[in-house]
Structure 1
């Protein structure tokens, strides 16, 4: 981004930081869910089988919005796209909404809440992203 648009530069950089943190969180969430799945259903034999389960099995369905959102950010940051300040703000707001755990909310919010409660790494990563999203420009 050009330095002639400081607010956009700041949002663009924050969006990149959120994306990187979200990738790390998503990986840990997948690993955590895999551990739980294997405790309930037995060992997953291959990465191909794991990918199929992530894409198709109900156990992992709550994580699909995270995957889809990462792709959405990638598309917005693509050189083919011309990201606007409004689009960057919308994506940051959507990230905040996606990363809202709730003990009594939607299935995704509840499962995310439980993941944060059971795994200190997930709790730490959630806190990091929350700080990024709360940062004022």
Structure 2
């Protein structure tokens, strides 16, 4: 998707980059949560079992809003209909709100905060997302 509006093109590029960074962060969060889950519940025997847990088990529920948001970005970027600068800015703002670690916040915020505390790679990726969203 391209536009004749340079500002909109800039935002679309930012969304593409954010999507890639969020995918890496989401994978790291899934891997980290898998390790935590297995410490409490034993080894997950297959990728299919893991997938079923990710989509259905309460343990992984806090990650679902991130998954859904990545899909939302995908749909926006693949839209056959014209998109607006306002819509792109709204998605970026939604990302700022969604990706907020906090020790006393929502379940997502608390679990994300804990993941950052226990895994330096996640902390690094979180800082990268924060930096991308600051501008």
Confirm or deny a common fold (TM above 0.5).
yes
Q: TM-score range by the shorter chain?
A: over 0.9
Residue 79 of structure 1 deviates from its aligned partner by 4.2
The 3 A distance-change label for structure 1 pair 51 and 106 is same
Please give the per-residue CA displacement for 1:5-29, whole angstroms capped at 9, x wherever unaligned: 0110110010111000000000000
Deviations 1:56-92 (A, max 9, x none): 0000000000000000000000042422101100000
How high is the TM-score relative to the length of structure 2?
Answer: 0.96
Count of residues paired in the alignment: 134
Q: C-alpha distance in 2, partners of 1:54/1:13? A: 29
Tell me, which stretches of 5 or more residues in structure 2 are unaligned?
none
RMSD: 0.9
Cα offsets for 1:20-46 (capped at 9, x unmatched): 000000000000000000111000001
Unpaired segments ≥5 residues, structure 1: none
TM-score by length of 1: 0.95
